[in-house]
Each structure stands twice: as C-alpha cells, then as structure tokens.
Structure 1
Amino acid sequence: MTDQTPEQPSDSSADHSAELPVAATSDGEAPRRGYAVIQDYLKTLDASPGVYRMLDSESRVLYVGKARNLRARVSNYSRPGNSARIERMIALTARMMFLTTRTETEALLLEQNLIKQLKPKYNVLLRDDKSFPSILVAKDHPFAQLKKHRGARKQKGSYFGPFAGAGAVNRTLNQLQKAFLLRDCSNAMFESRTRPCLQYQIKRCSAPCTGEISEEEYGLAVRDAERFLSGRSTKIQEELAAEMMKASEAM
C-alpha cells in the first residue's frame, strides 16, 4: 500500500473521499487556502466516528487521525490558532479523505494501522515504534494473556500496534476485555488463584484460572480477539448478534 493508493474500506466502514479544487495561490496565502479546503469538507461531515487523512497537492498523506465525532474533530483544523507544526500541515493540505466506522474503537485500530502503513510526515510521534505501546496477546501460557507492551518484541505472542500512547491502548484493552473476556493477570497470579477475581465478577474475564471456561473455548475467544484487532471483525459481529438473538428467544 502506498500513499497514492488508499486502501479499500472494510464492510464495517464507509469511505467518503473526495477531491476539492484548489485555486493557485501564492505561498503567503497557503494557510488560508488550507483552511478553506477544510471548511468545505465540514459541510459534508456528520458526527460519526472514523478516521481522517490530510493530503498534499501530490496526494501524499500528511497526517492520519481518528475521531469520536468527525465533524467536531475536523472543525478544530478549520480556524487559526493551532501550533506552528499544525499550521504548516494545514498550509500543505490540498484535500482530505474520510473513513467512517461503527465505533470509536474501530476508528482507533484503523488509525494505528494506517499510520504504520503510510508513515505520514506529521505523525511524528510514531517515528520510533519501540518507544510506543502495543497490544500483546501473550502465548507463553496455555491461556493467553491480553496486555499492554512496550519495547522489543521478544515475548511469544501476537503484537498489534504501535498506538499513539498509553491512553489509546488502555481504551482498546477495556473494550476487548468487555467483548472477549480475556485475562490480563500475570502468569504467577493466574497460578495462585483459588477462586475467580473481581474481573470475573464485573464480566471482564472468563476466569480460566479456576476452570470456569475450558482451554478450547478460551482459545476460540483469543482467536476472535486477534481477528478483531486485525480488522476482520464482521464475522465476529455476526456470530455475536446470532448469540444475542438466541439468548433473547430463550428468555
């Protein structure tokens, strides 16, 4: 994938990309031109979560960002008063692209994947992957552990990221625990348990430590979590919807 060829959206997203005409202007008018471009896009945006890309006149990706509310987030770029770095980026912006998602978590994961693939010039915080956190599904134990990871990727398991910061990782981990009930305790803690911990009580873990779930069933949950983190979530959502309907009928 290159900066000039944007990826195709998944079933869970809607792609709203367009190119607006940019009038020829002098360098002194570049910031005003960039603001005008962004203001024109605001007319087409709603409050959906999603990912936005800012591109220069040669279709090179300058910046990738995510938003809980695309219209509100992009409006921050539509008026002066930003940092010098952001002002320079806006001055170079000739067009934007938008990809809406169902949830903020999906937007967050898509943002990280695009940053890693496209390496936009103004996403400077992610120049050194080792400095920023990832999500690790650690597999050095029969019951995989879900956790935040920094540094060299030496531990056995599946890595997803990097993320822009600890807050982004923590929000994603929170959603994953709710959806897939994977453990986040250390191996030592796992081996010492004699009864389920609070995470089980608040429905954030399936308590494999005390045999509340079989190794096979837990392994299926791990697989689904990895598919979700890889962006292959459509099948999982269909299965969850079918299970919800079955439970509703049973009630």
Structure 2
Amino acid sequence: MTQKTLRARLVPLLLLCLWLWALPAVGMQCQDGELRRISRDVEKCCPKCILRAGGNNLCQGIEDHDCKCPSGHRCAEDSCLFCTKVPECAEGEELVRSGKIHYEFRCKPCEVGTYSSVKNGWCQNWTDCESSARVTVLQGNSTHDSRCGDPPNDVEQAVIAPSSLPTTILAILTAVAVFVLILLTFLLHFCIWTLKDKYFSADGRRRCRRCRPTPTTPPASSSQRRSTGTKPQRKSSPCCPSESTTRSAEGQGLVGTGS
C-alpha cells in the first residue's frame, strides 16, 4: 500500500469523525425557537414565545414550565399560572431560586472555584489544568477562568506556590521586634550601670552624698574669733564621716600595724 493510497483513505475517515463529533452541537441549535440555559448544565430549545392576553406574561400554547415564560421571566409559583421578571445578574453572579410553592429569585455570587464571565450567566467550574498535565499560570476568580500553560521541560508537572508576600511581611515584623527588644535590653542595662556607679562605690558600699558642714554654735563675729583665737565647731553630715573620725581610724590602723 503506497503512501498516497493510505492518505486517500485516512482523509475521508477523519472527515467522518469530525462530522460525528459536530452532529450533537448542530442538533442543539434551535431552528425555529430559542435556546435557553435552564440551569448551570442544562440547555433547552424553547419555541418562540407569543404572549397571551391577560397580562400574566405567559406564552401562548406552551405547557413546559421552563419555556412557558418569555425571556427574562420565570414561573412565579409551582403551578406556573403567571410569570415574574427575574433580576439581571452581573458578571461573577448567577440566578438562584428559593421557595417551594411561591418562588423568589435573586443573584448569588459565584462560589470559590467557579466563574461567570457574562451577564445573566451561570457559574462554571475553573479549568483543571493539572488534570491535562499542564500547570496553572493564572488562577481564576469569580469572573475569569483559570489560565493554563505548558510545564517546564525538566518536570512533568509544576505546582504554583502561593504568594509569599504575607510570609515576607511576617519576617520583617519579627526582625523589627527582635531589634527593638535588644535595644530596650541594652538601654535598661545602661541605666542600671549608671545608677549603680552613682550611688555605690567599687566595693559595693553605698556612696555618701557630699554635704556642707553646718556650724553647731551661732556664728561669731570676726573680732571675737580674733580675740579668742578659736574656730567655730562644725557638725558633720550623717552621710559623710567627720575628719576626726577618719583620722582616728587611720591612727588605730597605724598602731595596729606597729604592734
């Protein structure tokens, strides 16, 4: 079998496969009606709506509750005797219904892992890039799908790490706190050392403050001091030893040494 013959047989086979693959999508197209998305994963081809008389917003000759109301309206209760207008949902939201007999409609934000990129749409799941041996280049949000990319050549699959910004901020704050703690410790030791040097001597005794001696007798005039040749006695401060006491202590030390 030559290469040309093989190619001639493969081309019709590929065209047949493409036609079979596109046939369901062609069949879903409404020829004479309107294609409506009833829920997140359900689409339905509804006939063209011709409103009935009476102001209840019902389509004439249609009994299917999903198609009984015109576009932008839904059945207001279980028996669908009249229709109510539903709110228009923005991107990132989808329409939800509440109630069992009488229905209420509201717009609900898409849950985490889903998105809606059009108005009045339904939230769809993000594309799972890892399931197709690809990597997530950009994570999706409520209005956009995830973006996939090819993995690096040296690995089969890569996992995108979360943002390291919170970790960096925490590390910076921790370093600043440690620096402030060390600085406060140094200042505390410096203050203690300064106060100790001011009020205590090197041998651990408390330093006495310098006091001015106070006279024990009223001060005499200069003429009286010259005539008597005496000097007024002074009283030493309690915190400073007197000169006589100091000299006496030194004399006793000398006597003890000599003996």
TM over 0.5, shorter chain: no
Larger Rg: 2
Q: Return the structure number with greater helix share.
A: 1
Higher relative contact order (CA 8 A, sep 6+): 1
State TM-score, norm by structure 2: 0.21
